[in-house]
Structure 1
Amino acid sequence: MSAIGLYARATAGFDDRLATTLQILRDAAAAHPGRIVLATSLGAEDQVLTDLIVRHGLPIAIGTLETGALHPQTAELIGRTEARYADQGLKIEVYRPKTEAVIEFVRNNGERAMYESIDLRKACCGIRKLEPLARMLAERSAWVTGLRREQSDARGVVAALGTDDQGRVKVNALVDWTWADVWHYISTFEVPYNPLHDEFMPSIGCAPCTRAIAVGEPFRAGRWWWEDEKAKECGLHVSQAPAAGASADLPAVSALPPR
Structure 2
Amino acid sequence: MNVPAGLSAALHHFPETLELLARVQEFYNPDLRIYKTQSADSRKDFALKHGVALWHSDVNKFHYLTKVEPLQRALAELETVAWITGRRRDQAVTRSQMQVFEVDHNGRIKVNPMAKWTYKQTWAYIHKHGVIYNPLYDQGYTSIGDQPLTTRVALGEDERAGRWRGSNKTECGLHI
Show the counterpart of 1:145: 85
SS in 1 for 2:6: strand
Please give the alpha-carbon distance, in whole angstroms, between the structure 1 residues aligned to 2:40 and 2:151. 28
- For normalisation by structure 1, the TM-score amounts to 0.62
Q: Number of residue pairs matched?
A: 173
Shift of 1:109: 4.5
Is the contact made by 1:78 and 1:92 (CA closer than 8 Å) also made in structure 2? no
Is the contact made by 2:153 and 2:161 (CA closer than 8 Å) also made in structure 1? yes
Show the counterpart of 1:8: none
- Greater percentage in helix: 1
Shift of 1:213: 0.6
**Residues 218 and 105 (structure 1), Cα distance of their counterparts in 2 relative to 1, 3 Å cut:** same
Please give the alpha-carbon distance, in whole angstroms, between the structure 2 residues aligned to 1:161 and 1:61. 20
- Alignment partner of 1:182 out of 122, 126, 131: 122
Shift of 1:91: 3.2
**Residues 197 and 95 (structure 1), Cα distance of their counterparts in 2 relative to 1, 3 Å cut:** same
Shift of 1:177: 0.5
Is the contact made by 2:83 and 2:108 (CA closer than 8 Å) also made in structure 1? yes
CA offset digits 1:142-198 (Å, max 9, x no partner): 111011000011111111111111111111111010111111111111111100000
Identity %: 35
Please give the alpha-carbon distance, in whole angstroms, between the structure 2 residues aligned to 1:111 and 1:178. 37
Show the counterpart of 2:171: 233
**Residues 224 and 178 (structure 1), Cα distance of their counterparts in 2 relative to 1, 3 Å cut:** same
Aligned residue type for 1:159? Q
Highest CA radius of gyration, 1 or 2?
1
Residue 92 (structure 2) pairs with residue 162 (structure 1): no
Please give the alpha-carbon distance, in whole angstroms, between the structure 2 residues aligned to 1:61 and 1:161. 20
Q: Which moved more, 1:184-193 or 1:61-70?
A: 61-70
Please give the alpha-carbon distance, in whole angstroms, between the structure 1 residues aligned to 2:45 and 2:20. 28
Show the counterpart of 1:113: 54
Show the counterpart of 1:80: 23
Please give the alpha-carbon distance, in whole angstroms, between the structure 2 residues aligned to 1:70 and 1:84. 21
Structure 1 runs not aligned, ≥5 long: 1-56, 239-259
Structure 2 runs not aligned, ≥5 long: none
Show the counterpart of 1:48: none
Aligned residue type for 2:72? A
Residue 8 (structure 2) pairs with residue 65 (structure 1): yes
Shift of 1:104: 7.6
Please give the alpha-carbon distance, in whole angstroms, between the structure 2 residues aligned to 1:236 and 1:200. 24
Is the contact made by 1:160 and 1:172 (CA closer than 8 Å) also made in structure 2? yes
Please give the alpha-carbon distance, in whole angstroms, between the structure 1 residues aligned to 2:88 and 2:175. 12
Please give the alpha-carbon distance, in whole angstroms, between the structure 1 residues aligned to 2:117 and 2:3. 21
Aligned residue type for 1:210? T
SS in 1 for 2:164: coil
Residue 135 (structure 2) pairs with residue 195 (structure 1): yes
- For normalisation by structure 2, the TM-score amounts to 0.90
Aligned residue type for 1:153? V
**Residues 92 and 227 (structure 1), Cα distance of their counterparts in 2 relative to 1, 3 Å cut:** same
Shift of 1:106: 3.0
